[in-house]
Structure 1
Amino acid sequence: MAMPLDDPTEVLLAADRLPPTARDRECERLAQALIDSGTVPAWEVPADGVDRAVGICADMYWRRRHLAVPSVTTARDCAEWVWRQVHPAAREAVCERWALGYAFITRNTVDSASDLASATATLVIDAGTPFVPYFCLLYHSGKLRTNFAPHELLLVLDQSPLAVAAAAYTTAPVITALRAFAAFLTGDDAAALGHLDTAWDHPERTRATIDICLHGIWAARSGLRHGPLLRDRAVQAVAAYPRDAVFHARLAAGLRLVGAHEAALDTIDQALRLLPAHGARSSHNLLQDQLLRERELIVAGHTLTASISGQQPSPDGEPAGLIHRYQVFLAVTVIVGIAAVCTAGGGALLLTAGELSLPKRMAGAFMLMLSAGVIVSLLLVGNRMLRTDHKGEPEDD
Structure 2
Amino acid sequence: MQQSFITKNPSVLVFLAILALFTLGVTLLSEGAGAGFISTSFIKTLGKTLCLCLIAVAMDLIWGFTGILSLGHFAFFGLGGYMIGMWLMYERTRLIVVESLSQSEIPATTAEITDAIGHQIFGVVGSSDFPLIWAFADSLFLQLALVVIVPGILALIFGWLAFRSRVTGVYLSILTQAMTLALALYLFQNDSGLRGNNGLSGLQNLPGVTASQDMVSLWFFWGSALALGLGYMLAAWIVSGKFGSVIRGIRDNEARVRFLGYSVEVYKLVVFTLTACIAAIAGALYYPQAGIINPAEIAPIASIYLAVWVAIGGRGRLYGAVIGAALVSLLSSWFTGGQAPDIPLGFATIKWVDWWLVLLGLSFVLVTLFAPKGIGGLIDLWTELRTPDRHGADLGPDAGALREQEAQQ
Say which one has the larger Rg: 1
Higher relative contact order (CA 8 A, sep 6+): 2
The structure with more helix, counted as a fraction of residues:
1
TM-score with structure 1 setting the length: 0.23
TM-score with structure 2 setting the length: 0.23
